[in-house]
Each structure stands twice: as C-alpha cells, then as structure tokens.
Amino acid sequence: MTDGVDRARDLLARARRVVVLTGAGVSAESGVPTFRGSQGLWRSHRPEDLATPEAFARDPLLVWEWYAWRRSFIARCEPNPAHTALARYLADHPTATLVTQNVDGLHQRAARAVRGADTGDADRVLEVHGAIHRDRCSSCGLRAVGAEAIDTSTPQTLPRCASCGGALRPDVVWFGEALDEAVIGAAFRAAREAEVCLVVGTSGVVYPAASVPEITRASGGSVVEVNPEETPLTRYAAVSLRGPAGSLVPHLLHG
C-alpha cells in the first residue's frame, strides 16, 4: 500500500491543478448510508425508485417522508476526517476543485470548520446533484433552506412556496433530470484542466458525474482512486488505493 500512496502523493505533488470527485463513500464513516451499499435501502425502497420526478408525482407523501428522514438523519452526522482533510487540501490549493455527488452538505460543513466563517472554499465545492437541506419550488424555482420537520400527514400539509404557493421539493437532482448546466459545466472544465483526478468513495455508475475522471484521463491526466472495493473507474486509475476514505485520505493528503 505504501508504494501506491507514495506514487499517488508524487502525482498530486507534481499536479498544477487537481479535481476531486466524491460519492457517498466519503460520508460512509460519518454514518450516512451509501446508495448501493447494504444499508442503502429505506423501508425496502431503492433510492433509484424514490429519487425520481415520477415517484414524486405519484406519491409526494412517501418521497417527502424519505427526504425528511434523510434530512434529520444527516443533521445528526458530522464531517469525518476525509471531509476535513479534503477541506484543508482545498484551503491549501486554490487551484483545486471538489466535485461532489453527495447532497449531505458535509463537505461545506468541513470547509467552514477549516476556514472559519469564510465560505470562500465552499464555492469551490460543486454539488452536482444539489443539496438535501434546501427546498426548491416546483413552479417558480425559488430556493430556500428546507425545514427539517415536514408534515407528511396529507397532501395539503406538504410544504408550499412562500412566494407563489407552488409545491416545494427537495433541491436535489433526481434520476432522469438534467443537472444544473453551470455546475456540471464547471465540473467538466475543472476535469479538463486537471493533471490529477482524485476519486473518493464512488461506485462510478451515475452519469454524467462519473465522466469527471474520464475527462481528466482523456485530456492526458491521471486518476487516483480511494475505495475499499474495485469500481468501473479502477481500470482508468494510475493508482487505486484499497481502503476507507476516513483514514486513507488524511494519510494521502497530509500523512
């Protein structure tokens, strides 16, 4: 493992620009269930079945129940050493960009903790799938911090937009929905310009986010992966470090 870490450190040290892509695995040690891991199910529902506009149209009470449960669960989770190490790396490397598929907000919380109130680094955290603690109006698009307690007793008690009265939804990107052009565009630009893409805790199956490491490779860069398991991205990796992010990422970046 040490020669893999040494090679990965050497690649990172020589890179002028680094892009990081994280997935649910970086939050696993904070207690947030991953999507495709064993505890990814909720009341026997698969995320792919609930995180869709069709599910929300068909059963908004059930979908809101799932998000309200996740929102309150995540509110009690803390950033783990991987989030903190990545936040410190961002603070020390102004040309680095962190692209996250996660909607749990733990990268931003770690960035604020590392840099105090200054959320400057938070805008170098690109949340390509949105943020679970924010609501968005289905009609006028107004965004606002979401309530933790959602009254899911009847359709009439579901949250409504303060501005137009439209139905509020969690401000996340569902399967089959387009990502925010500006956000995914910035992620792809960072991937193109990076000499190294550090991929942490993703199964690499959800597109277009999973293209980020492929874009770095296609423009001549290298991929370094941190994951306890092999993934479809492993074959693109110059180095693939087998192990949990919570210990490997701090060791890799600040060991």
Positions touching ligand BV8 (CB under 6 A) are: 23-25, 28-29, 34-37, 40, 48, 51, 101-103, 129, 172-178, 201-203, 205-207, 226-229, 231, 244-246
Answer yes or no: are the C-beta atoms of 134 and 145 closer than 8 Å: yes
- From ligand BV8, Zn ion, none, interface partner of 244 (C-beta below 5 to 8 A by class): ligand BV8
CB of 142 to ligand BV8, least distance (A): 20
- From Zn ion, ligand BV8, none, interface partner of 140 (C-beta below 5 to 8 A by class): Zn ion
CB of 178 to ligand BV8, least distance (A): 4
Answer yes or no: are the C-beta atoms of 30 and 207 closer than 8 Å: no
CB of 196 to ligand BV8, least distance (A): 18
Task: Report the C-alpha gap between 122 and 229 in whole angstroms.
Answer: 29
Catalytic, 129? Answer yes
Tokens of 63: 């979908």
Answer yes or no: are the C-beta atoms of 128 and 182 closer than 8 Å: no
> Which residues of the chain form contacts with Zn ion (CB under 5 A)?
137, 139-140, 142, 161, 163-164, 166
Which of 107, 129, 133, 251 is labelled catalytic? 129
In the bound state with ligand BV8, the residue whose beta carbon lies nearer, of 70 and 124, is: 70
Task: Report the C-alpha gap between 152 and 149 in whole angstroms.
Answer: 9
Give the residue among 183, 238, 227 at the shortest CA–CA distance from 34: 227
- From ligand BV8, Zn ion, none, interface partner of 20 (C-beta below 5 to 8 A by class): none
Answer yes or no: are the C-beta atoms of 231 and 202 closer than 8 Å: yes
Active site (catalytic) residues: 129
